């Protein structure tokens, strides 16, 4: 059993903390929102009076917060309260630069650290089937692995500090681009008189096959569990896809990488979210690609 402080008990952090409890760990939780603290207490999390109080007794600290600025602020606040050598793990999706700054803060304070963002969404968080992509030293990874295994099915060490975030934004850039490609193909198929099922049956077993098609098919029918069958309720919200695409573009700019399709995908999701669809599943962008009238007619 490990004593774990868990800061950020939201959509992802709540079920992740609950799975740590189920695995037999002692979990000391904190969130700014009282109702989330109460919900986690129902799951067996011991609620602390502050993030600092949660961290003081912990061997491992996990943060699951919205953005880089939140992670840096929380780590700066709680690092002085932690015991030397405590392992800090950030599982939020944040920019690579902030992730590397967080590692530096931890090292200065005499702590071990890992960036370990996740893929798999709220469903994966609840089912303890997340994929973790980790950046940090071999020692930090080895210490974190048994803890992460209580929340995920696949734990990948991607290299040194920040490389977990790098893997996450590269993966999600592929996802954003591929979803737009799949949506364009269905919109074109419709105009050519091709049924959704026929296009799915061909593309899902041909070279067009990809996760956006086979798991999140953007039209109702071929994949019954895809958000398209549930009024495009997320799933994976378009606003979160936009956040990740923006992170990929910030990183591309900083690294001097050309990512023209990623840039285009970011612009299209900015337009779609800006038209009031940020809370819809990201596959809902098919309405936008059929034309603005279609978006308004099917506002999710």
- Which active-site residues does the annotation give? 168
276 touches ligand NAD by CB under 6 A: no
Given 55, 62, 79, 118, the residue binding ligand NAD (CB under 6 A): 118
Q: Of the two residues 70 and 157, which places its CB atom closer to ligand NAD in the complex?
A: 70
Distance of CA 244 to the CA centre of its chain: 8
CA atoms within 13 A on the CB side of 136: 31
5 touches ligand NAD by CB under 6 A: no
20 touches ligand NAD by CB under 6 A: no
Per-position x/- string for 58-97, each x denoting binding to ligand NAD as judged by CB under 6 A, each - no binding: ------xxx---x---x-----------------xx----
Which residues does 148 contact at the CB level (< 8 Å), separation at least 6?
Answer: 89, 116, 132, 134, 155
The closest of 81, 39, 42 to 61, measured between CA atoms, is 81
Q: In angstroms, rounded to a whole number, what is the distance separating the alpha carbons of residues 93 and 240?
A: 10
Q: Of the two residues 74 and 185, which places its CB atom closer to ligand NAD in the complex?
A: 74
Asked if 50 and 74 count as a contact pair (C-beta separation under 8 A), the reply is no
Least distance from ligand NAD to the Cβ atom of residue 153, Å: 15
31 touches ligand NAD by CB under 6 A: yes
Percent helix, strand, coil in the chain, to 5, is 55, 15, 30
Report the relative pairing of strands 87-90 and 112-115 from DSSP bridges. parallel
Least distance from ligand NAD to the Cβ atom of residue 14, Å: 7
Q: Total number of residues binding ligand NAD (CB under 6 A)? A: 26
Phi/psi for 225 (5° steps) reads: -85, 0
Given 4, 5, 6, 13, the residue binding ligand NAD (CB under 6 A): 13
Give the residues lining the site for ligand NAD (CB under 6 A): 7-13, 30-33, 36, 51, 64-66, 70, 74, 92-93, 118, 121-122, 236, 240, 243
């Amino acid at each position: 059993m490990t004593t774990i402080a868990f800061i950020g008990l939201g959509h992802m952090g709540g079920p992740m903390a609950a799975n740590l409890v189920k695995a037999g760990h002692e979990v000391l939780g904190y969130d700014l929102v009282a109702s989330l603290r109460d919900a986690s207490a129902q799951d067996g999390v011991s609620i602390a009076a502050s993030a600092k109080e949660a961290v003081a007794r912990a061997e491992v600290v996990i943060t699951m917060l919205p953005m880089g600025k939140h992670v840096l602020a929380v780590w700066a606040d709680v690092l002085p309260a932690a015991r030397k050598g405590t392992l800090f793990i950030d599982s939020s999706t944040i920019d690579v630069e902030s992730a590397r700054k967080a590692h530096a803060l931890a090292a200065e304070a005499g702590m071990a650290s890992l960036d370990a963002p996740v893929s798999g969404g709220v469903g994966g968080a609840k089912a303890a089937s997340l994929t973790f992509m980790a950046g940090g030293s071999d020692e930090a990874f080895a210490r974190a692995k048994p803890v992460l295994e209580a929340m995920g099915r696949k734990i990948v060490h991607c290299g040194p500090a920040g490389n977990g975030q790098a893997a996450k934004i590269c993966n999600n850039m592929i996802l954003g681009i591929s979803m737009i490609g799949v949506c364009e193909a269905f919109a074109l198929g419709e105009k050519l008189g091709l049924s959704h099922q026929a296009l799915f049956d061909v593309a899902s077993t041909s070279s067009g096959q990809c996760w956006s098609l086979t798991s999140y098919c953007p039209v109702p029918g071929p994949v019954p569990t895809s958000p398209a069958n549930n009024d495009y309720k997320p799933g994976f919200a378009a606003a979160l896809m936009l956040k990740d695409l923006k992170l990929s573009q910030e990183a591309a700019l900083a690294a001097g990488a050309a990512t023209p399709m990623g840039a285009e995908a970011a612009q299209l999701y900015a337009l779609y979210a800006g038209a009031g669809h940020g809370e819809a599943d990201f596959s809902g962008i098919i309405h936008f690609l059929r034309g603005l009238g279609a978006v308004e007619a099917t506002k999710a």
